[in-house]
Every structure is written in structure tokens, then in C-alpha cells.
A and B are shown apart, each in its own frame.
Chain A
Amino acid sequence: MIAVFTALYPEAQQLLDRFRKHGARMKRLEAGNLSVWKSEDENFLLALTGSGEIASAVTTARVLTQFPADFAVNFGTAAGNEPAGSCFCIDKITEEATERDFYPGLEWRMPFGERALVTVPRVAPQSSDSGISHLIDMEGAGFFQAAARFLSPDRIVLLKVVSDAGNSSGLTADDLRKACEVAAENVAGYLFWLQQAADARAGAHADAWETQLLAKAEKDLHGSEAMRQQLRRIFRWQALAGEDPEKLVHMLYADGSLPASDKKKGKEVLEQLERDIL
């Protein structure tokens, strides 16, 4: 599942529309005081965090605890010296208050240009000719730090849409909506692609060798936890080496090695196995 976090509803609105347009039926969930939408196929979730680092971190942590995700994406507006509506992937986050830097992983392909982001505690108007190349927001560092408690950096993505040059006083909800409208189609397309990447990732990590029979054999060894782990390691190695561990288990039951009468007998079975097959 791809979990998307936005600070405010005007930033989320365009994305929700695009999800629906592309066939992801987003339904609002009853989740206490959280504002969360989830697609019926459970591929996408969108949560509103509220403004500021703490609000973003708290909601991100709450949502990722309740809804384990493959990727966490922070989507929202930021100030910067770029045309309004342009969207960027963040390659470096500086938390202004602590001067700490954070680096989302950049292994997965990304259709957007990259920029650094500075997360500030409050909006301070910038001079439009300040020449800064980074973007400025109020949530990114909080979101990243919370998400990094749950996911590896390659699974944390920040996408920021430029709303203004940082010299506007009082952006309206309509300003945010308009900025996001320009980028929403491309961002939605990217999120659907990311879902495919998540499927590929999950497939690569699948563990298919465990069966009920093997679990029974581990129990019937009547050994210590360390001995059970040792047997489990042999089964796992056999499966990965292209052998069928169930065949081995059938043999152990057929020749009376299993179930072992006690721990001592179990240890003998284990030692014999290691001599025979390793």
C-alpha cells in the first residue's frame, strides 16, 4: 500500500480526484479524529496531517502504526524560486530548528526533478530575489523522521509542489488547490507506478518455504529454542538450495527419528541430520 500524507485538504483534494479518475475508489474511514481515505483495493491511503512538523510527525506515526505501508509519500506545497505548480522530489531535508539533515533514498526511478528542502517552524517571507535553490515547507522533516521509524529511506518519498516564491503573505486555500492541480495528474501517475514497484518489492521478499509439516517437525524435536532454530535453518537452507525439506521430514517420521522422545534424543537427531546432509 502507498500511504500519502498531505498537510491540508486543498492539497489533498486534487489527488483524491485523480485517484478516483484512475479507478481507485477512495473511501473516507472512520478513524477517530484522523482524516483518512483508503482505496477499496487497499492499494492507496491518503491522510491529512495538519500543518507543522509535530502535527505531520504524529499523524504519520499514527497512520503507519495502524496501516502498514510499502511506501510513505509526503505530498504538499512549498515555497521556492520555481514556477508555481512545478513539482519536485526532495533529495535532502534540513530541519532548520535543529540544523539536522535527512536524506530520503533515491534508488527508485523518479520522473520529477530533485531539490533540497528546508523545513521551518513558521512562515517567514523570503525576498523573491534571494537566489535560494532549495524549497521551504513546514512539515517535511517531521514527516521523514516519523516515517523513518517504520520504513527504510528508499521507501520514503517527498514530493513538493511550488505554490509561491515565499514572499506572499497569506496564501489562500484556492492558491494551494491551484498549485496542486497542475501537478496532480503526474503525481497520481507516479503513485500508481510506485504501487507496481511495491508489488515487485513484496514479491522479492516473499518467504514460501514454511509449511505446517515443517512447523510440526520443529515442535516434535522436543528441543530447546536454539535447537528448533537450528532445525529451521536446515529446512530453510534446503528449500533455498532447491531441495524439498518436506521429503526430509517424511523420512524422519518414517524412520522413527521424529517425534523425539526427549530433548537428548532431539539433539541426537539434529546432529545426525547435520552429518548426513550438510
Chain B
Amino acid sequence: MNGTFFEPAFSHVYVEERAADLPQTKRILQKLPDAHVIMIRHYKDVFNFSGQDARIQSRSLSLILADEPDPRVYRGAPVCQDFGNKAFYYTSTVMNCVYDCEYCYLKGMYPSANLVVFTDQSRTFAEVDRLLALYPVYLCISYDTDLAAIEPLTGFLQEWYAFAAERPDLTLEIRTKCANKGLLSTLPALSNAIWAFTLSPDAVADRYEKKAPGLSMRIAAARLAVSRGIPVRLCFDPMLRFPGWEEEYRKLAQTVREAFKPGQIRDISIGSFRIGAQYLGQLRARHPDSALAQYPYKVCGGVAGYGEKSREMTAYMTGLLDGWIGRGKMFLWEEQEV
């Protein structure tokens, strides 16, 4: 569809009445001076309304600013890699992602493509402090969104960095496809804040991650992070299966091996595409014309994936990177773990 049919992203901002007076809400609104603001009673009145067409919404994202009374800290899901951490949690202070990658589980999880930002993170910080009193915590803060991509709007990473700097028992993981060098240049290099860059072959990035920076930009950003002493994880996850996938992932491994010395990388993760079976139906409805969404996946233990071919893909990528980085630094997701 022609882009001129649609309003620009964030042309409309819905603001919960109880969030309207929060300083964080006002700070975000100041950054969108041309946006039309609509006051709402509860974010779910807009976000959860039945029958939304998320495919159309993704062409013109609206922003919803809300105040969540409960802390948004959750135990990591079985389909996520815990990197050997027992107290493995994630936060969800933002729901949905501006990158709109075609395979993303968020499309199956949420009824809307619009972005919800819970502007006040203080209750989430308090909950993390409560957990830290019990044990060291490994916390993924960029799972249900890409926080780095919207940092100019929210300033949330700055807040997390200030929080983590004083809590050595807290380890943050910032999963991202963002290549914002300005951000990486200004944030301090905290040893307990890991930047986990998702790397995909050009063929995947061009076709399925259209709104995200391309591979070369992500690698350049990761190199900058490395040069500043920021802990960097490289994520070859999700690996996708398509005609010629082996060659594309071989080229990706080659590019990575040339771009980084193994000692510069904290660790890597490898995993094939998988998604909760109940989310797959939604994903397919939203992308009826996507080969990726319509692939005949195998469902096992409530998770849809490539079945026995998953192991083949993981082994292939492991083989490509073996010898460059030690096995002890490789974290693999394999289907039978779920």
C-alpha cells in the first residue's frame, strides 16, 4: 500500500489520565510537539480493544503513555535463553517494538501494534530491589520492545544505567537491533550491563527486519561498544530457514569473524526460530502473505519451531563459529529444552 495513505508514526498519542501529570509523561510529550494527544481512562481501552488490524496499525504507530500500578518484572519464559542464570527475569516497561520484524512473537502476543510506554519505572525498580535482597538478578530489560531504538523518546536506558551502576548484583541484558552510535558513545561502560546485538544475514535483515538497521550498521555499533569496553553479546537468534539459508549464515559467520576478535565478545547465543504455538495463529493472521509466518512449523510442547531441523541449524551455526570462540562462550537454544 502506498505510504501516503497513512498518518506518520506517533502522530497520535493516547495518554492515561493517571499518567498525565507524571514528569516522565510530560518529558515524552515534549519530544512530540506535533502529536495530537487523546486522553484515555485506561490503556487497555485502546490497546486491548477487540478486532484491531495490527497490520494497518504498523503503518502508522500510535503511542500510548500509561501508568502501571504493579511492577512489571517477570520470570523468564522457557523459550528464552537464561545464559546459565538461575534468577533470570525480564521487565516489560514498554510493550511492542518500532522495528516490526516479521517473525516477532510480539505480533502473536498483543492484540495491537501500537506502542505502550509505562512512563514511571520507579515501581519496577523497587521490585528489582526486592529481588536483589534475595539473590543476584539477571534481568533482560529489552525483551518486549527494543529499548535502545526508542531511547531518544523515553530516556529509559539512562534510568536503568543509573540504577544498575549502584547495584553490582544486578546484571542487565539490553537486547537490540539498534545501531545508535550516539547512544553507545555517551552511556558509561558498566560491567553489569550487557548489550546483546541480534545479528541476521543480510537476506533476513532486508526481507524480514525492514524497519531495523541492516547488518553492517549493527556490526559497526557492536564494534563501537566493544571499543568502549561495553560487554557485548552476539545473538544469532532467531535463525531462519529459507532456500539458501546455509550460505547466508556462512557469510554472516565469516563477517563476524572478520569484525571481532573472540576475546572482545562476552559470549554468543545461537537458536533457531521458535514461537509459542498460540501466538503463531495470530502471527499468521497478521501476515497472510509472509512465507516466514506461513511455514509449516512443527509444534512440540506448546512451542512451534523447525522440529528436528532446529538441531541441524544450531549445529551448523555452532560449527561455523567453533574455533573462533570457545564452546564455553556459546549458549545454544535447542528444542528439547522446552
Min distance, Cβ B242 to any Cβ of chain A, angstroms: 7
Cα distance, A36 to B114, chains bound together (Å): 36
Known contacts A109-B6, A153-B51; A200 and B56 CB within 8 A of each other: no
B316 on the interface (CB 8 Å rule)? no
Cα distance, A265 to B332, chains bound together (Å): 37
For this complex, into which size category does the number of interface residues on chain B fall? 35 or more
B19-68 residues at the A interface, CB under 8 angstroms: 36, 38-41, 45-46, 49-53, 56-57, 59-60, 62
Q: Chain B binding site: helix, strand, loop or mixed by DSSP?
A: loop
Chain A residue at minimal CB-CB distance from B1:
A200
Known contacts A207-B288, A241-B291; A107 and B296 CB within 8 A of each other: no
A188-227 residues at the B interface, CB under 8 angstroms: 196-197, 200-201, 203-205, 207
A132 on the interface (CB 8 Å rule)? no
Chain B residue at minimal CB-CB distance from A193:
B5
Q: Chain A binding site: helix, strand, loop or mixed by DSSP?
A: mixed
A228 on the interface (CB 8 Å rule)? no
| Docked-complex contact A236 and B294, CB < 8 angstroms | yes
A157-214 residues at the B interface, CB under 8 angstroms: 196-197, 200-201, 203-205, 207
A152 on the interface (CB 8 Å rule)? yes
Interface window among A98-106, A135-143, A256-264: A98-106
B2 on the interface (CB 8 Å rule)? yes
Cα distance, A106 to B6, chains bound together (Å): 9
Residues of chain A lying within 8 A (CB to CB) of residue B127: none
A94-136 residues at the B interface, CB under 8 angstroms: 101, 103, 105-110, 114, 116
| Docked-complex contact A108 and B6, CB < 8 angstroms | yes
> Of A116, A152, A240, which is within 8 A of B294 by CB?
A240
A38 on the interface (CB 8 Å rule)? no
Cα distance, A212 to B310, chains bound together (Å): 34
| Docked-complex contact A152 and B51, CB < 8 angstroms | yes
Residues of chain A lying within 8 A (CB to CB) of residue B45: 101, 103
| Docked-complex contact B243 and A241, CB < 8 angstroms | yes
How many residues of A are counted as interface, with CB atoms below 8 angstroms from the partner's CB atoms?
36
Min distance, Cβ A73 to any Cβ of chain B, angstroms: 16
| Docked-complex contact B40 and A103, CB < 8 angstroms | yes
| Docked-complex contact A154 and B7, CB < 8 angstroms | no
Q: Mark A236-267, 1 if CB is under 8 A from B, else 0.
A: 11001110000000000000000000000000
Min distance, Cβ A65 to any Cβ of chain B, angstroms: 16
Known contacts A103-B46, A106-B7; A153 and B52 CB within 8 A of each other: yes
| Docked-complex contact B5 and A109, CB < 8 angstroms | yes
Min distance, Cβ A266 to any Cβ of chain B, angstroms: 16
| Docked-complex contact B38 and A103, CB < 8 angstroms | yes
Cα distance, A240 to B182, chains bound together (Å): 39
Min distance, Cβ B128 to any Cβ of chain A, angstroms: 33
Residues of chain B lying within 8 A (CB to CB) of residue A155: 53
| Docked-complex contact A274 and B296, CB < 8 angstroms | yes
Q: Which of B5, B12, B62, B242 has the largest number of chain A CB atoms within 10 A?
A: B5
B122 on the interface (CB 8 Å rule)? no
B309 on the interface (CB 8 Å rule)? yes
| Docked-complex contact B57 and A154, CB < 8 angstroms | yes
Min distance, Cβ A164 to any Cβ of chain B, angstroms: 25
> Of A91, A242, A274, which is within 8 A of B38 by CB?
A91
| Docked-complex contact A201 and B40, CB < 8 angstroms | no
A230 on the interface (CB 8 Å rule)? yes
Cα distance, A25 to B165, chains bound together (Å): 70
Known contacts A107-B60, A274-B296; A241 and B40 CB within 8 A of each other: no
A233 on the interface (CB 8 Å rule)? yes
Cα distance, A105 to B114, chains bound together (Å): 11
| Docked-complex contact A107 and B7, CB < 8 angstroms | yes
Residues of chain B lying within 8 A (CB to CB) of residue A234: 296
> Of A114, A148, A274, which is within 8 A of B51 by CB?
A148
B295 on the interface (CB 8 Å rule)? yes
| Docked-complex contact B14 and A105, CB < 8 angstroms | no
Instruction: Report which A residues bind B (CB closer than 8 A).
Output: 91-92, 101, 103, 105-110, 114, 116, 148, 151-155, 196-197, 200-201, 203-205, 207, 230, 233-234, 236-237, 240-242, 274, 278
User: Can you show 8 pairs from A to B with CB atoms below 8 A apart?
Assistant: A103-B46, A106-B12, A109-B5, A148-B49, A152-B53, A203-B1, A205-B288, A237-B291
Instruction: Report which B residues bind A (CB closer than 8 A).
Output: 1-2, 4-7, 11-12, 14, 36, 38-41, 45-46, 49-53, 56-57, 59-60, 62, 241-243, 288-291, 294-296, 309
Q: 8 closest Cβ contacts across the A-B interface?
A: A240-B291, A152-B53, A107-B60, A241-B291, A233-B296, A200-B1, A237-B294, A154-B56
